[in-house]
Amino acid sequence: MVSVFSRPRPPLAPTAAAAGAEPAREFGRAGRAGTRTGAARVTGAALVTGASSGIGAALARRLGAEGTWDLVLTGRDPERLRAVADASSASALALDLTAPGADRRLADFTLATVGPVDLLVAGAGVGWAGEFREMPAHAIDEVLETDLTATLRLVRLLLPDMVAAGTGRVVLVGSLAGCVGVRGEAVYSAAKAALGAFADALRQELRGTGVGVTHVIPGVVDTPFFERRGAPYRRSRPRPVPPERVADAIRDTAVRRGRDEVYVPGWLRLPCRVRGATPGLYRRLAARFG
């Protein structure tokens, strides 16, 4: 296991300091053992966001266990991220992706640590539960910035190197809420729906470049997400799946097979297809069964 260490943090730009942004913390692999320049055979360089817990942490452990990835992780919780990075033999930069300049700082850190990435998994996300008319304005901004805008900015920075190399994959972790809309999660549903539309449009734009785009659509996942959004998950169905199941689907179906869409569990295709083909029927069913 490669030890994790802290690096001195450059001074914050005035805009970030004025906004009260949380200081970023960097961790790196000593000597970068097993990187592109080392003796170990490397699959490629990968960046995983939202890696301090949940799906991102589970995927980091899966990729780290393979021992062939130059892996960079990011997340908001420095201590959790440190533990995941240590278990995954990864480099990591703890920061809030919604902070001014965070996308550029993460991109620069990644390029300096492992070089251009072959795989970007955008898994960072937050939610908010409750009636939209009661949702504070700052919560609207946080959900949209974290779940949509920050991801778009990061993809924009890392994509040109993928296109130049003629290879790579962008994996965008969406949600069933973005396909069908969920009561009490109007803004989260809107952000994830926009992410799905972005995946479709970007995939068409990149056709012929060698760069693929995968939209991962999980249902309810057993992670701290529900505690952090302000309300636990109380429905009897669909039942939550472990984050490791989503991580396996990302690794096996998105990364290895290059699929455009991945549903976890697979039966979630049905409500999404019904919603798309017969929206009126879907609305009647949703009104009756929730």
**HSE value, Cβ hemisphere, 13 Å, CA-based, for 104:** 6
Q: Which residues of 189-213 are buried (b: 16+ CB within 10 A; e: fewer)?
A: bbbbbbbbebbeebbeebeeeebbb
What's CA 75's distance to the chain center, in Å?
10
Q: Which residues are catalytic?
A: 188
Position 127: which residue type? G
Question: Which residues on adjacent β-strands are paired with residue 169?
Answer: 119, 212
Q: Are 125 and 225 in contact (CB under 8 A)?
A: yes
Query: How far, in Å, CA of 79 to CA of 101, rounded?
Result: 22
Phi first, then psi, for residue 7 (nearest 5°) are -115, 150
Q: Are 51 and 75 in contact (CB under 8 A)?
A: yes
